[in-house]
Structure 1
Amino acid sequence: MNYKFFPLLFVVLLTSFTSLPNKSNSTTITPETTVSSVSKNVSIYNQLDANSFVLPNFDCFNTALEGFYLLKQKGLITKNILTLVDFSLSSNTKRLWVIDLEKNTILFQTLVAHGRNTGEEFANEFSNQAESFKSSIGFYATGEIYNGKHGLSLKLDGLEKGLNDNARERAVVVHGADYVSESFIKQNKRLGRSQGCPAIPVEMNEKIINVIKDKSCLFIYHPSKNQEILAKLAS
């Protein structure tokens, strides 16, 4: 949904975010600072070159951008590439975006699977536990490429304690899967599901992995957990 902002946007957003540290990591962000931050993110959002794709939900984009800046400041990510996964959306929709923040351009938009125990068509249950077969929300740094049972795959490091920091231990990775396809949706009325990995279409796998590898930011969003995501990231 393309949020072209309206007068009440700032009021709504101000009531939905927890405070994040500023660049010195020592001063609490004031409402005025939050307004300035949201205003900046609205401007970036409205200037995004959709590149024939649909823009992501603004709330998802705004949270992702706040986290991106914080993680970049901490040196946990190094690339100006942001990958968004919006698990508030149906798995039958293209709910993964890869955005080049240097060029302000959406590079890819595609299907992405959630874990088999996270839900059917919609994602609604999340876990950081091994063998849960559930997706984990929050911020990740992309790691190294390897070849595994799903072919070319990309390791992920969860950056939020208790939410996704077991990702590497759980082997939650980006990989291609034949159950992530329009044909699977037509046959089964919903996208296929993974064991917790953000699996993507096989034909998109190599292209996306080579762009987002090596310490770029990947963010998995769900509105029901937004406050928890931000609180964990700021701690």
Structure 2
Amino acid sequence: MLKKIVLGLTLLSSLTFGIDLQTEDKIKGVYKELGIENKLNYSTFFKAIQGYNKIDGKKEGYITIIDFSKPSNEERFFVIDLENKKVNYSTYVSHGKNTGLDTAVKFSNKMNSYQSSLGFYLTINTYEGSNGYSLRLKGLEPGINSNAMDRHIVVHGADYATKEFMEKYGFLGRSLGCPAIPEDISKEVIDYIKGGTVLYINGNDESYFEKSQYISLKI
């Protein structure tokens, strides 16, 4: 009987927690299987998983990584199925208009800054707003992105976040701080990541890494 109980708990644990991402070897293994070395640096992926592992109450097995260390004329929005080691979406994403032109250089948590905010979020619910079908984000880091709900920082579709716009102007248009993605896939992506999945926004800002409770720069 005891053996059956232990076996049952072991199976429940594997079903609940899914893939093991608790060691660097495991993280490296998943990164390699994803086959995204030419799109997303390992250091960015590692930092994202560091935070993912520390977040309670998340929907397990999925993470969205936005890499604002890359210019806007490159794909830098990645939706990853960690369980099946698969990149489900890889696309363009806009940053805030006061964050930079083609490259994101300034970040803020302040109201009306029209800048992007770095760090870890949980996706919440969807709604129809001025930007169409949108996904609310809950910022998890005080002083860094904790005003996301009040600032109405959401994932939404935009005609200025497309490959066509980028090819015409050389870089994407910019939002008021929201991560805006191409309209033709925005609803599909939003429905896939809604409901408590982790979203991480990376950028070239050393002050963020010094403040964040989710990331240790020691690899």
Compute the TM-score of the two structures, normalised by the length of structure 2: 0.83
Gaps of 5+ in 2: 1-21
> What is aligned with 1:48?
34
User: Aligned runs of 1:75-154 on 2, under 5 Å?
Assistant: 75=57, 77-154=58-135
Q: Which amino acid aligns with 1:197?
A: C
Q: Which amino acid aligns with 1:58?
A: Y
How many percent of aligned residue pairs carry the same amino acid? 39
Gaps of 5+ in 1: 1-35
Q: Deviations over 1:121-169 (max 9, x none)?
A: 0000000001000000000000001010111100000000100000000
- Is the Cα contact below 8 Å between 2:50 and 2:214 reproduced in 1? no
Aligned residues: 194
Q: Which amino acid aligns with 2:34?
A: L
- Is the Cα contact below 8 Å between 1:87 and 1:220 reproduced in 2? yes
Q: Deviations over 1:84-123 (max 9, x none)?
A: 0001101011101000011110000000000000000000
Q: Which amino acid aligns with 2:176?
A: Q
- Is the Cα contact below 8 Å between 2:105 and 2:204 reproduced in 1? no
Compute the TM-score of the two structures, normalised by the length of structure 1: 0.78
The answer to whether 1:219 aligns with 2:203 is no
Q: Which amino acid aligns with 1:118?
A: T
SS in 2 for 1:89: coil
Q: Deviations over 1:42-62 (max 9, x none)?
A: 111112255xx9542111100
Equivalent-residue separation in structure 1 for 2:210 and 2:68 (angstroms)? 15
SS in 1 for 2:134: strand
SS in 2 for 1:233: coil
- Is the Cα contact below 8 Å between 1:161 and 1:232 reproduced in 2? no
- Is the Cα contact below 8 Å between 1:158 and 1:164 reproduced in 2? yes
